[in-house]
Amino acid sequence: MTKQDFKAMSKDDLRAYVLAHRDDDDAIRELFSRRSPNPVIYTTNDPEEIREILRKKIAGEI
């Protein structure tokens, strides 16, 4: 089997590859290394507020 060039893959392509090859540790490491260094952290426990955040995220507003 030829070695894939994970750094050249788009994030979507790499994600699809990892889903199809869950035992490929190198691919998983590359995918994890591409995570956002500044993720949004939500600090609420209110279910209604969480629903509103999810609705906005799904709608592409955030």
In a domain, 1, yes or no: no
Domain holding 48, by residue range, is: 6-59
What pLDDT score was predicted for residue 31? 95
Residue 33 has pLDDT above 90, yes or no: yes
Inter-CA distances, 8 with 1, 18, 30, 31, Å: 18, 14, 11, 12
Spatial separation of the C-alpha atoms in residues 28 and 26, rounded to whole Å: 5
In a domain, 24, yes or no: yes
In a domain, 37, yes or no: yes
In a domain, 28, yes or no: yes
Assign 32 a pLDDT band (cuts: 50, 70, 90).
Answer: very high
Q: How many domains is the chain built from?
A: 1
| Cβ-contact 14, 28 below 8 angstroms | no
- pLDDT-above-90 percentage for the chain: 68
